[in-house]
Structure 1
Amino acid sequence: MTTRFLSSTARTSIALAIGAGALFAAATAHAQVVSSGIVNLNIPASTNGLYLNVVTGANNLPAAGTGTTVPGWDINPWSATGIAFFSPGAPAGGAYVITSTSNVTNLTPGSLIGAGSSFGSGTTANQAQWTLNSSDNFFGFRFNNEAGGTLHYGWAQIAFGATLTDRTLVQYAFELTPGASIAVVPEPSTYAMMGLGVLGLMAAARRRKAKQA
């Protein structure tokens, strides 16, 4: 398995190559994981939340506009009161790995995401399963690359502060080979940064409370 980290130039190259069919042969090809590296994207506590195209890196920040501002968006964590997930129109059946009760699952490192996973729209999520003051929160997803019409699997990591509305999307990764499964494997260097990210969320929350007082 080869891991690639995406610069803005690399994202553009990958998107173009997917559209041209130059990077893909069959789903049995060697797995190639594309990683965003640490991005720390804010997930606004709003009905829009964060819209993200995982191939190009395009998102709706900082204005936190609607999905129409992000062509080809793939994932959308949102909610003004907790955490929920909204799916694009494709793939049919929803974008997120779910449990038997249709809640988006907080995956453990090493979990495999692929054709054998259960997927749903993710409009509701079991709030109790997410770990506060921690970056040990991972969700799985799948997406259709609109450029090449291919299905891919991926995962993303969220850091929560003291509440579910204090949250940051730390990093994400996806499998470059269409239809190939991917395991939740955060980069080793991110573990050292998890504590710093959570401390930052907690400090930001304290500053907001101080301003409101």
Structure 2
Amino acid sequence: MNSLQTLLSKFDKRWLGAGAAAAGAAVATQATEAAIVHTPNANINIPSTTAGIYLNVVTGVFSTAPASAPGWDVNPWSSSTLSYFNPSAPSGGVYVLRVGGGAVGNLPIGTTIGPTPGGGRTYGSGSAQVTGNDPHILNSDQNCIGFRFQNEANQNQIHYGWMRISLAGALNGQPRTITEYAYESVAGAEIGCGIVPEPSTLALLALGAVGLIRRRK
């Protein structure tokens, strides 16, 4: 290796280290500032029983018995259909109802979940429906359910989130599963149904720079 090649090699290594450091710093900053807390690949079965499943979205603890999931936030259940049971707080129901009310809605992706849900929707509880407005879809994992909850880790303030549910050929059929869920870490902040956090622009640029340097070597 001649002196010029040696110099270029040192230059690339120096910039590779700097790029990696920048990427690490960017990712760390993103983790600190990220507002959406996302649990992908949750894969929590919803038993076809009168208990269903109780889930605390903050701790990730779930159980078929409410006492074993302290502070639970959502409870999809039912042996004959699919229903959504409310915790004691917040009052007035926790699930976003379909347009016009009467059932818990399968929300279009991006629908606002916040103090005032998008499309004139309201909060409540009830069963799922496969007809009418915002119907649940059988044989599909494209069922996005919006909810609000009292966050015991943040002085019981109200936060907003969503969960995705996969259904078989009937509302009470198996398998039926909570495939993923997410919520806003900032109390009172809105979240879009199905919206997940994305890498920051700075992190992507830094990682791209590292890749470019590696390709040059």
Q: Determine if the TM-score, normalized by the shorter chain, exceeds 0.5.
A: yes
Provide the residue aligned with 1:87 in structure 2. 86
- Cα distance in 1 for partners of 2:110, 2:124 equals 23
Judging changes above 3 Å, is the alpha-carbon distance between structure 1 residues 71 and 119 closer, same or farther for their aligned structure 2 residues? Answer: farther
Provide the residue aligned with 1:102 in structure 2. 102
Please say if residues 46 and 79 of structure 1, whose CA atoms lie closer than 8 Å, have aligned partners that are also in contact: yes
Query: Over alpha carbons, which structure has the higher Rg?
Result: 2
Please say if residues 95 and 119 of structure 1, whose CA atoms lie closer than 8 Å, have aligned partners that are also in contact: no
Judging changes above 3 Å, is the alpha-carbon distance between structure 1 residues 145 and 54 closer, same or farther for their aligned structure 2 residues? Answer: same
Judging changes above 3 Å, is the alpha-carbon distance between structure 1 residues 33 and 144 closer, same or farther for their aligned structure 2 residues? Answer: same
1:183 and 2:189 are equivalent in the alignment: no
Cα offsets for 1:149-180 (capped at 9, x unmatched): 21100000001111212211100000000000
- Cα distance in 2 for partners of 1:149, 1:35 equals 20
- Which residues of 2 match residues 161-200 of structure 1 at below 5 A? 161-165=168-172, 166=174, 167-185=176-194
Provide the residue aligned with 2:149 in structure 1. 143
Unaligned runs of 5+ in 2: 1-26, 198-217
Please say if residues 128 and 136 of structure 2, whose CA atoms lie closer than 8 Å, have aligned partners that are also in contact: no
- Which residues of 2 match residues 51-90 of structure 1 at below 5 A? 51-60=54-63, 64=64, 66-90=65-89
Which amino acid in structure 1 is aligned with residue 109 of structure 2? P
Provide the residue aligned with 1:126 in structure 2. 129
Please say if residues 67 and 73 of structure 1, whose CA atoms lie closer than 8 Å, have aligned partners that are also in contact: yes
Q: Which structure has more RCO (C-alpha within 8 Å, separation ≥ 6)?
A: 2
When you count helix as a share of all residues, which structure comes out higher?
A: 2
* Deviation of 1:185 (Å): 2.9
Runs of 4 or more consecutive aligned structure 1 residues displaced over 2 Å after TM superposition: 99-102, 118-121, 123-128, 185-188
Please say if residues 116 and 122 of structure 2, whose CA atoms lie closer than 8 Å, have aligned partners that are also in contact: no
- Cα distance in 2 for partners of 1:56, 1:41 equals 14
Provide the residue aligned with 1:155 in structure 2. 162
Superposition TM-score, scaled by structure 2 size: 0.67
- Identity fraction in percent: 41
- Tell me the C-alpha RMSD between the 2 structures: 2.4
Cα offsets for 1:132-163 (capped at 9, x unmatched): 11111111000001232211000000011112
1:41 and 2:44 are equivalent in the alignment: yes
Please say if residues 107 and 145 of structure 2, whose CA atoms lie closer than 8 Å, have aligned partners that are also in contact: yes
- Cα distance in 2 for partners of 1:58, 1:40 equals 13
Which amino acid in structure 2 is aligned with residue 87 of structure 1? N
- Cα distance in 2 for partners of 1:80, 1:120 equals 23
- Cα distance in 2 for partners of 1:125, 1:133 equals 14
Please say if residues 39 and 169 of structure 1, whose CA atoms lie closer than 8 Å, have aligned partners that are also in contact: yes
Cα offsets for 1:1-31 (capped at 9, x unmatched): xx99xxxxx9xxxxxxxxxxxx9xxxxxx76
Which amino acid in structure 1 is aligned with residue 147 of structure 2? F
Provide the residue aligned with 1:199 in structure 2. none
